[in-house]
Amino acid sequence: MAKEIKFMFDRRFDEPEDENAPAVKEDMSVKSVDGIPSISELLDTLNEKAREAAEREQTETAENAGAPQPSAPAETPEEQPEETAVPVSETEGGEPVFVENVRENVQTVQQELEREVEPVFSQAEMDAARESARAEGYAAGNAAGHDAAWKEAMESVEKQNADTLISIENALKDMVKKSRDDGETAFQTALNLSMAVCAKIAPALNKKNALGEIADLLRENFRFLRDEPKISLRLNPVLAENVKPVLADLIRKESFAGKITVVRDDALPVGDCRVEWKNGGLERDTQDILRQTGELVKLYAEARPQPDALENDNG
């Protein structure tokens, strides 16, 4: 029986079913690992124990029967079929109990052998891993430092650009204000200069064109005076003789039936005159013309659109 059990387990766990089957990984069932017996060693031990138990049971049976104890015959392949079967308890599946226990022990041993062994690294591998980790850390730190430096540089550039734009904006505001003030000053200066020039050249122009200015005044207003019986023309003596041909032409054109008297007045500047009749009169006063011109220029300056209003309209 022991031979049959050994053959069964040797056949089941030690021998491959197909000799032509492809090679598999190393069979740990026939190799002792870290002092743990192999499966073959366990089976040999179990077979030996089974033989001893069978011999011991045979001996006890012979002694109880009073028969002389037979010596254990040498086991040979030819005598194996003649051995007396040793009664062995069986499981529900028909297998001996110790076979089931052996199977469970074998499975447990296989699971222990197949369990992943904690890796053991050599010093060279540890040094290589340390250098690799150091290189990775250096690369990561270098990249992080590069990114931080780039971000800081960009923030600095953006701040410089913002400060520059603010400075330009402030400078432009100052320039606009100064230009506005300068423009206003230039405008007022131009007005004052023009009025000063007019006041300076007006007497000379008035003296040069005095007769023409008086003649234009009379031509524009004489049609309103054709029904007056008497008209008096007061002017500077320098123009008294020269104005008579102008009056004669007006009398003829307007068919004036009244009387015109020329009065010489040294108090009137050359170019000024005064026309008088019964119920009214008119005059040409160079200073009054300059004053009215100044008032018109002042009104023009006040009516000019202001820069702030233009900016609001455009904004």
Say whether pTM exceeds 0.85.
Answer: no
Residue type, 172: L
Between 276 and 298, the more confident residue is 276
Asked if pLDDT for residue 203 goes beyond 50, the answer is yes
Q: Where are the domains of the chain?
A: 2-114, 204-314
Q: 204-314: what fold?
A: hypothetical protein PF0899 fold (3.30.2320)
Residue with tokens 């230009």: 179
| Assigned token pair, 41 | 């060693």
Measure Cα distances from 139 to 130, 142, 144, 149 in Å. 14, 5, 8, 15
User: What is the tens place of the pLDDT at every residue in 246-255?
Assistant: 999 989 988 8
Instruction: Report how far residue 235's alpha carbon sits from residue 210's, in angstroms, rounded to the nearest whole number.
Output: 10
User: What is the tens place of the pLDDT at every residue in 77-110?
Assistant: 444 444 444 454 555 555 556 667 777 777 777 6
Question: Exposed/middle/buried for 96, CB within 10 Å: 0-12, 13-18, 19+?
Answer: middle
Strand ranges for 42-87 from DSSP E: none
Between 25 and 271, the more confident residue is 271
**CA dihedral over 226, 231, 234, 240, signed as positive or negative:** positive
What is the predicted pLDDT for the residue at 10? Answer: 46
